[in-house]
Amino acid sequence: MSTVIFEKQGAVGVVTLNKPPHNLIDDIFLKALMDCYECAARENCRAIVLRSAMRHFCAGADTNGFSTGRRRNQAEFEAILNGLEDVTIPTVAAVHGAALGGGFELALTCDTIIAADTAKFGMAEASLGLLPLLGGVQRVAQRAGSARAKEMAMLARRHEPAMLERWGVINLVVAEVDLPEAAMSWARQLAAGPTVALGGIKRLANLSARSGVYAADLIQTEVNDAMWATADQKRGLAAFAATGPGTAVFEGN
């Protein structure tokens, strides 16, 4: 049985975490997840939904590996994070149940997070004598500021999604029954957009978050040029002139 499943629904790649009982993270699981993202790109998907088939989105890392004392080096961590976060198409995390530790960090690599109102989020590593290993501290700091990142990571509490929505850590909270359709609705809207332009937005935002506005400014012309070279840019301007804003039909190229 595959621990991560990929399927294509229209222009949306649906990536489903499928490792009983709680999608605990290990090396094989992460590789399978990255393989599915790469498959979505090869299949010309224009958005990705990351979801879970288990009771929880992901309850964190498989701590059995920690008892051996094996630690990843920083280059390995950065390769994992960059591979997930920098996939060129928009990503939407659909979170139900618990997203704890590494599971929360997986959600944070997505461009947007939609959560069921019954979900729970937290970075519990400090209670084990650890700290978040997959970039959770810095990604919460990007979204909500350093004070909230320290609060979440140091106190190791579980948080309600409504609070994290107010903080700006997650984008939207919906009733659990509505989560699948809400996530797919966002993904379909993103998939119907000008794919190259959206990829440029993502690249600029990610680089600015990591390296500051100046670093993003340095590649602005490169990103602009890629956008100007697309047929979607021409479709967008032509539709605006003919029938007004919001009427363009984009094809992703």
Model pLDDT, residue 70: 52
Fold that domain 4-191 belongs to in CATH = 2-enoyl-CoA Hydratase; Chain A, domain 1 (3.90.226)
**Please, are residues 54 and 18 in contact by the beta-carbon 8 Å criterion?**
yes
The 10s digit of each residue's pLDDT in 189-199 is 999 999 999 99
Looking at the chain, list the stretches that DSSP marks H as alpha helix, in order from N- to C-terminal side. 27-42, 74-85, 102-108, 136-144, 146-155, 161-167, 179-191, 195-211, 213-228, 231-243
Reference 81, options 64, 106, 57, 103; nearest CA is 106
pLDDT band at 146, cuts 50/70/90?
very high
Is 165 labeled as catalytic in the residue annotation?
no
**Please, are residues 159 and 122 in contact by the beta-carbon 8 Å criterion?**
yes
Is 38 labeled as catalytic in the residue annotation?
no
Model pLDDT, residue 72: 61
At 229, phi and psi to the nearest 5?
Answer: -80, -5
pLDDT of 76 > 80? The answer is no
Selecting among 43, 78, 85, 105, the annotated active-site residue is: 105
β-bridge pairing 112-116 and 91-95: parallel
Selecting among 85, 125, 181, 222, the annotated active-site residue is: 125
Measuring CA to CA, how many Å separate 107 from each of 47, 104, 148, 162?
15, 5, 17, 16
More confident residue, 64 or 127: 127
pLDDT band at 71, cuts 50/70/90?
low
Angle, helices 195-211 vs 231-243, to 10°: value is 110
